[in-house]
Amino acid sequence: MALDFSIVGSATEPHPVTWTSDQALLYAVGVGAGTDESIDELAFTTENTRSVPQSVLPTFPVVLGYGAPRLSYGDIDLTRMVHAFQSVEITGPLAPEGSGFYSSTVTGIHDKGSGALITTESLLTGPDGSPLARMSGGAFLRGEGGFGGDRGPSTTWAAPDREPDVVVEQRTVPWQALLYRLSGDRNPLHSDPAFAVAGGFPRPILHGLCTYGFVGRAILHAAAGSDPARFRSMSARFSAPVLPGDTLSTALWLEDGEVLFATRTQDGTSVLSQGRAVVEPEGAR
Ligand X SMILES: C/C=C/C(=O)SCCNC(=O)CCNC(=O)[C@H](O)C(C)(C)COP(=O)(O)OP(=O)(O)OC[C@H]1O[C@@H](n2cnc3c(N)ncnc32)[C@H](O)[C@@H]1OP(=O)(O)O
Per CB under 6 A, residues contacting ligand X are 81-85, 112-115, 117, 138, 140, 142, 151, 154, 187, 189, 205, 207-208, 237-241
Shortest Å distance, C-beta 190 to ligand X: 7
Residues near 231 by beta carbon (within 8 Å), at least 6 away in sequence: 58, 90, 216, 219, 220, 224, 277, 279
CA distances from 278 to 223, 254, 256 (A): 9, 10, 9
HSE (CB half, 13 Å, CA atoms) of 279? 27
Distance of closest approach, residue 228 Cβ to ligand X, in angstroms: 23
- Residue 195 DSSP symbol: H
The active-site residue out of 83, 190, 207, 221 is 190
| 185 included as an active-site residue | yes
Q: How far apart are CA 94 and CA 65, in angstroms?
A: 15
| CB-count burial class (<10 Å; 0-12, 13-18, 19+) for 226 | middle
Instruction: Give residue number: closest CB to ligand X.
Output: 208
Q: Is 110 among the catalytic positions? A: no
What span, in angstroms and rounded, lies between the C-alpha atoms of 194 and 192?
6
Closer CB to ligand X, residue 101 or residue 140? Answer: 140
SS3 152: coil
d(CA 234, CA 241): 19
The pair phi, psi for residue 65, each rounded to 5°, is -90, 0
Torsion angle, alpha carbons of 173, 177, 183, 186, to 10: -170
Name which of 69 and 281 has its Cβ closer to ligand X.
69
The pairing of beta strand 115-125 with beta strand 74-75: unpaired
Please report how close the Cβ of residue 210 comes to ligand X at its closest, in angstroms.
Answer: 8
Strand partners, 276: 235, 260
- Tell me the closest approach of the beta carbon of residue 185 to ligand X, in angstroms: 7
Q: Looking at 185, 207, 221, 246, which residue is catalytic? A: 185
- The least CB distance from residue 216 to ligand X, in Å, is 15
Cβ proximity to ligand X: between 83 and 217 the closer is 83
d(CA 116, CA 114): 7
Question: Based on CB atoms, which residue is closest to ligand X, 54 or 176?
Answer: 176
Q: Cβ closer to ligand X: 219 or 242?
A: 242
In the complex, least distance from residue 171 CB atom to ligand X, rounded to whole angstroms: 18
Residue with smaller CB distance to ligand X, 70 or 151? 151
Query: What is the torsional sign of CA 47, 38, 174, 238?
Result: positive
Supply the residues annotated as catalytic: 185, 190
